[in-house]
Amino acid sequence: MKKGYVDVVLGLQWGDEGKGRIVHLFSKDYSLVVRFQGGANAGHTVYIGGKKNVLHLIPTGILHNNTRVAIASGVVLDPEVLAHEIEFLESEGVKVKGRYFIDYRTPIVFPFHKKEDGLFEEKGGIGSTKRGIAPAYRDVYQRFAIRAGDVLDKKHFESILKKQIEFNNAVLRHFGAKELKEKEVLEWFDRYRWTFEDALCDVSLLIKDEIENGGAVLMEGAQGTLLDVFYGNYPYVTSSHTILGGALIGAGFGHSVVRRVYGVFKAYVTRVGKGPFPTELNDENGEKIAKIGDEYGATTGRKRRVGWLDLPLLKYAIWINGVTHPVMTKLDVFDGFLRVNLAVSYEMSGKQYEMISPLTSLLERVSPVYESFTDFHGIKYARTRDDFSDGVKKYIRRIEEFIGIRIASISKGREDNLI
Ligand code: IMO
Ligand code: MG
């Protein structure tokens, strides 16, 4: 029998590259779509019948009737958000119950994690989404996290919950905040445990079975490469592994089953939260891109920072993920622009660099060297690449030449076609 495979969709920038939309378009060709890292900090926007929907935890693949979805052990799961998402989708006529799986090992995000995340931000954090992501991962590495499958062993569950509450209350005290009572935490937990109790399984083995049965599995990345906790722009990062390696660890499979790595990037760059941003625009071009591109956070509603496409960082992201299929999104935002800039190298202390590690100390010191492109029109109406105006063709060619790979797909607007 024909063997199946795993394809991976990842963000190559600071998140919000349009991964949700790409996964939505692709997922009809996959029998299983898996989230492998992050949590409710993700905001994957998809348009169904012209209506905007944002999914935070459930993989976007749920919108296709024949696709099953899974939340793997690398994700941190907030069952309250999951409950709302399931109820919302079911009310929209999307069947969710019975079609999703959750790994036994998936750590749970508790109300004290969210509270701490908010308090930490108030005292000058890094601009997190306040979804409790960093405290939840911290408890995993501290080895007293509650994982979804712990509900199967009541005694064990109660003993770790005690430890967790004790520790997290000490943290809340440190911030001068009200502590949470064990009773209220348990009540909260009991209200939402139905979201995962019937869905528990070993997602790694689910993927194995799927592949052995000739199925196609898609990994839906959240956040982006520059937000990876090791390789991103530390400390202005999220607390999970957003890169290809994160998919292997977070969902539990080996490299030999990976077929394609789709790397999604916008025709420009956005960033939410703090941290250096070399090509950031604080002028009317920035305003225009933000407005046309609707660059407001899908999770927090914050206005996203906007800048020109940055090839030195893009090249770094392509390397670290082993991208085989780059996907460019939102090119149509440039329709009618008189001039579009593209950063083709960085200058630092009189030297030029074509690729750079996203270290804060470096990103704060570099100045981008730009090439300018003109003649951007009719992008929305193009049906093939040949239809693009000369300026757009030159822009695409320059990017491909720089990264050394053909851009596999370009999306340009909300309708369903990629070219
Ligand atoms: P999607 O999947 C954009 C950013 C936050 C903050 C940093 C840490 O929609 O691309 P966290 O709450 O994770 O501890 O915040 O990461 N961030 C995102 N930015 N898109 C996302 O997800 C993000 N998830 C987290 O703004 O700078
Ligand atoms: Mg988002």
Choose the catalytic residue: 7, 24, 29, 44: 44
**In 387-414, which positions are buried (b, 16+ CB within 10 angstroms) versus exposed (e)?**
ebbebbebbbebbeebbeeebebbbbbe
Contact present, 222 and 19 (Cβ < 8 Å): yes
Residue 1: the pLDDT is 63
User: Is residue 252 within 6 Å of ligand 1 at its C-beta?
Assistant: no
What would be the CATH architecture of the domain defined by 111-194? Orthogonal Bundle (1.10)
pLDDT at 221 over 70: yes
User: Which whole number is the average pLDDT over 149-163?
Assistant: 92
417 and 390 in contact (C-beta within 8 Å)?
A: no
Q: Which of ligand 1's atoms lies nearest the C-alpha of 270?
A: 3
Q: What average pLDDT does the segment 343-351 reach? A: 96
pLDDT, tens digit (0-9, with 9 covering 90-100), for 260-279: 999 999 999 999 989 999 99
Question: For 368-398, how does the pLDDT look when each residue is reduced to its tens digit (9 = 90+)?
Answer: 999 999 999 999 999 999 999 999 999 999 9
Fold of 265-410: Adenylosuccinate Synthetase; Chain A, domain 3 (3.90.170)
Q: Return the domain boundaries, the chain.
A: 5-103+209-261, 111-194, 265-410
* Active-site residue flag, 375: no
Q: Which of 35, 52, 55, 128 to mutate to test the pocket of ligand 1 (most atoms within 8 A of CB)?
A: 128
Is 129's C-beta closer than 6 angstroms to any atom of ligand 1?
yes
Is the pLDDT score of 347 beyond 80?
yes
Query: Average pLDDT of 95-119?
Result: 96
Res. 237: pLDDT tops 90 = yes
Q: What is the atom index within ligand 1 of the atom nearest the CA of 274?
A: 27
| Helix ranges, 143-270 (H) | 154-174, 182-192, 194-197, 203-212, 244-251
CATH class of residue range 5-103+209-261:
alpha beta
Strand partners, 120: none
Tens of pLDDT along 184-198?
Answer: 999 999 999 999 999
Average confidence (pLDDT) over 120-124: 92
Share of the chain above pLDDT 70, in %: 99
Q: Is 84 a catalytic residue?
A: no
